A and B are shown apart, each in its own frame.
Chain A
Amino acid sequence: MPSPSAPNLDTELAEAVLVRFLRDELHRTGLRHLVLGLSGGIDSAVAAMLAVRAVGAEHLHAVAIPSAQSSPESLADARAVADAGGFAVETIAIGDAAAGLLPHLAAPGGADVTPLRRGNVMARLRMIVLYDVSARVAGLVVGMSNKTELLLGYGTLHGDMASALNPLGDLYKGQVRALARRLGVPQQVIEKPPTADLWAGQTDEGEMGFTYDEADAILHRLVDLRRAPADVVADGFPEPLVRRIETMIVRNQFKRRLPLIAKLSTRTIGHEFRYPRDWRT
C-alpha cells in the first residue's frame, strides 16, 4: 500500500480563511457570539482555536458536556485546550438526563439500548445543550465534523452533525491535525487516539477498522481527484477497503442533505424555491 496520508494543507491560508469565515458568517446574522462543545478531542480544539481568533474569548462560549461514560482525561484535556486558547469553559453534565431517558428507550421487556443507540442519544443530548446555550447567549453553534467523518457518515444526524457554521467540513482528519499544530493545540490532544468517548478504551479507528490516514488517502483520491475505485486499488490500496469506503460515502449521502420534501406545487422548497442561506445579509 502506498504511504497513506491526507493531502497537503496550506495551514496559514486555512487559518486566515476559516477565521474570516466564522467572523463574516456570524456577523452577517447580526449575532456576536459563538457556541461550541469542547470534548477534549482534536476537532473541537481546532474549532475552538479558530473561534477564539474570530470573535475573541469574551464572545466564545465553550461548553464541556460530559456524560457518565466520559473519561476524566477528556474533561482535563478540554480544560487544557481552553487554557491554551485563553478562553473559559463552562461544564454542563448530561449524565442525569441520560439516566432519566435511557430506561424509557429500551424496548418493553426487551434488550438494553445498544452502545450505538446510546452514543447517538448522548450526541443528541449534547446538541440540546448547545442549542440552548446558543439561545441563552444569542449565538451560533459551531460544528466540527471534518471531511473524513462527513464522507464516511461517522457522526450522529441532529447530534454532533448539528450546527450553524462548520469550519472543518472541508478538511480531512490529517489536515485537521496539521492545522492543530499551527494553532497551538496542546500536544497530548493532538497525539491521543481519536475517540467518541462512549465507553472506556473506545477509539474511532478501532471501531471503523481502518486508520484515518488510510481513509484520508483513499477519500482524497476518490473525491478530490475523482479517481475511479479500480484506479485507487491499482495505486496499491486494498480492494476491500476501497470498496467499503466507497460504499460508506454513498450510503451516508442522506446525512449530508436536508430531508426530502414531497413535491406537489409548482414552486417547492429545494426545487424551485432556492435562495442562499445568507439571503439579504
Chain B
Amino acid sequence: MKAALAQIFPRLADVPANLALHERSVNQAVAGGAELVVFPELSLTGYGLMESVPDVAIQLDSPTMRDLRQLSRAAAIVVGFVEEAPGARFYNSAAFVDRGEIVHVHRKVHLPTHGLFDEGRHFAAGDRIRAFDTRFGRAGMLICRDFWHLGPAYVLAAQQIDLLLVSSASPGRGATGGDGRFQSTASVDLLGDVYSRSFGVHVLHANRVGCEEGVTFTGASEAFGPAGNRLARARDLDEDLVFVDVDPDARRTARIHMPFQRDERPHLILRELQRALAERTQPGY
C-alpha cells in the first residue's frame, strides 16, 4: 500500500478554501498512486482559531463532511477538523474516511493549555482511545500532543494496531540547536522512531507548515517502518507531499525479529498502574 503525507499550509478559519486544498492534495496523491492520504491536525480549519472555534465547527452529518466522504472515494483520508457534538461541545478531531464512509473519529485527548497553547480553553477533551479496522490493517489515530504522552500510543498498541496515524500542528520552539532545525522537531523525530520500534508498527505522521500569528509550524512530516527505520521525510518548513510504501510483510519480519508486541504484559502494567494510582491517594504520598 502506498500512503501520502500531505504537508499543507491551511488558511486560518476558512473551511471552504481548505476543503479545496484537500481536494487538490488528494488528487495529487492519487496521481502518485496513494491509497491513503494523511493530513495534519485541524487541516480543515488551521490551528490558532481562538473564539472562531464554534464558527468553523462541523457536525459529522454536515455538507462539508459529505464532501470529504465523496473525496474519500478516490483515496482514504485522515482529516483534521473541529467537530461539533451535541450540547455545544467542540472537539479537536481527526476522521478516518474511506470509500464514502466515516470509519472512525478520534477526539484529541490531551489538549495542551500552557505556554503558547490554549486548547483547553476552546475545546472539549476526548475520552476515548480506540483502534479501528481499515482495509490496510488495524489502525489508531493520535493528534499532536496525544503523541507526546506515552499513554495513548501504548493503549493503541495494546489493541494490536498495525498503523499509527498521527496528525500534528507542531509550532517550532527553540532555535539554539545548530543543526538547522527547531529543538521541538528533534523531539517529534525521536517519538516516531521509538513508537515504531517499540510497538512494531508503521508510524505515518503528517505535520503542517506555514506561519500563523508569528508562530512557524515545522513540517518534516515523516514515516517510520516497524523497526524504527525512517521511510520518508518531508521538507522542513515548506509545503510538501511525500509518498511511502507501507509493507505489511515488514511488520511481520520486525515482530519476528523483536517480539515486543507479543511480549508486552498489559495486565501486569494495568495492575501496577492501579496500585500506583491507589497509593497516590494515601496520606503522606
- Chain A residues within 8 Å of B210, by CB: 20, 24
Choose from B12, B14, B49, B176 the contact partner of A10 (Cβ within 8 Å): B176
Residue pair A279, B13 in contact (C-beta under 8 Å):
yes
A134 to chain B, nearest CB (A): 19
- Among the 9-residue stretches A91-99, A124-132, A269-277, the one with 4 or more Cβ atoms under 8 Å from chain B is A269-277
Residue pair B178, A8 in contact (C-beta under 8 Å):
yes
Given the known interface contacts A276-B50, A278-B213, the answer about A13 and B180 at a Cβ–Cβ threshold of 8 Å is: yes
Cα–Cα distance between A8 and B216 once the two chains are bound (Å): 19
Cα–Cα distance between A14 and B179 once the two chains are bound (Å): 11
Mask, B41-59, CB within 8 Å of A = 1, is 0000000111110000000
- Chain B residues within 8 Å of A230, by CB: none
Main secondary structure of the interface of B (DSSP, over half): loop
Cα–Cα distance between A25 and B216 once the two chains are bound (Å): 10
Residue pair B214, A25 in contact (C-beta under 8 Å):
yes
Mask, A257-281, CB within 8 Å of B = 1, is 0000000000000001111111111
Residue pair B12, A280 in contact (C-beta under 8 Å):
yes
A57 to chain B, nearest CB (A): 22
Residue pair A10, B211 in contact (C-beta under 8 Å):
no
B158 to chain A, nearest CB (A): 37
- Chain A residues within 8 Å of B9, by CB: 24
A55 to chain B, nearest CB (A): 14
Residue pair A272, B51 in contact (C-beta under 8 Å):
yes
Cα–Cα distance between A252 and B212 once the two chains are bound (Å): 26
Choose from A16, A17, A276 the contact partner of B213 (Cβ within 8 Å): A276
Residue pair A12, B12 in contact (C-beta under 8 Å):
no
Given the known interface contacts A10-B178, A13-B182, A280-B14, the answer about A20 and B52 at a Cβ–Cβ threshold of 8 Å is: no
Residue pair B216, A10 in contact (C-beta under 8 Å):
no
B41 to chain A, nearest CB (A): 16
Q: Does A7 contact B (CB under 8 A)?
A: yes
Residue pair A281, B12 in contact (C-beta under 8 Å):
yes
Cα–Cα distance between A78 and B13 once the two chains are bound (Å): 40
How many chain A residues have a CB neighbour from B under 8 Å? Answer: 24
B188 to chain A, nearest CB (A): 15
Q: Does B63 contact A (CB under 8 A)?
A: no
Residue pair B52, A275 in contact (C-beta under 8 Å):
yes
Q: Which residue of A lies closest to B238 (CB)?
A: A20
Q: Does A228 contact B (CB under 8 A)?
A: no
A65 to chain B, nearest CB (A): 26
Q: Does B172 contact A (CB under 8 A)?
A: yes
Given the known interface contacts A21-B216, A278-B213, the answer about A13 and B177 at a Cβ–Cβ threshold of 8 Å is: yes
Instruction: Name the interface residues of A12-30: CB closer than 8 Å to any CB of B.
Output: 12-14, 16-17, 20-21, 24-25, 28
Q: Does A76 contact B (CB under 8 A)?
A: no
Q: Does B237 contact A (CB under 8 A)?
A: yes
Given the known interface contacts A28-B11, A277-B213, A281-B11, the answer about A9 and B51 at a Cβ–Cβ threshold of 8 Å is: no
Choose from B14, B49, B175 the contact partner of A13 (Cβ within 8 Å): B175
B207 to chain A, nearest CB (A): 15
- Chain B residues within 8 Å of A20, by CB: 210-211, 216, 237-238
- Chain B residues within 8 Å of A278, by CB: 12, 48, 212-213
- Chain B residues within 8 Å of A275, by CB: 50-52
Residue pair A10, B212 in contact (C-beta under 8 Å):
no
- Chain B residues within 8 Å of A7, by CB: 176
B240 to chain A, nearest CB (A): 14
Q: Does B130 contact A (CB under 8 A)?
A: no
- Chain B residues within 8 Å of A12, by CB: 180
Choose from A16, A274, A276 the contact partner of B212 (Cβ within 8 Å): A276
- Chain A residues within 8 Å of B49, by CB: 276
Q: Which residue of A lies closest to B215 (CB)?
A: A21
- Chain A residues within 8 Å of B213, by CB: 276-278
- Chain B residues within 8 Å of A17, by CB: 172, 175, 216, 237
Residues of A within 8 A of B (CB): 7-10, 12-14, 16-17, 20-21, 24-25, 28, 272-281
| 8 examples of A-B residue contacts, CB within 8 angstroms | A10-B176, A10-B181, A13-B182, A21-B216, A25-B211, A280-B13, A280-B14, A281-B14
The 7 closest A-B pairs by CB, nearest first: A24-B211, A8-B176, A12-B180, A276-B48, A274-B50, A278-B12, A21-B211
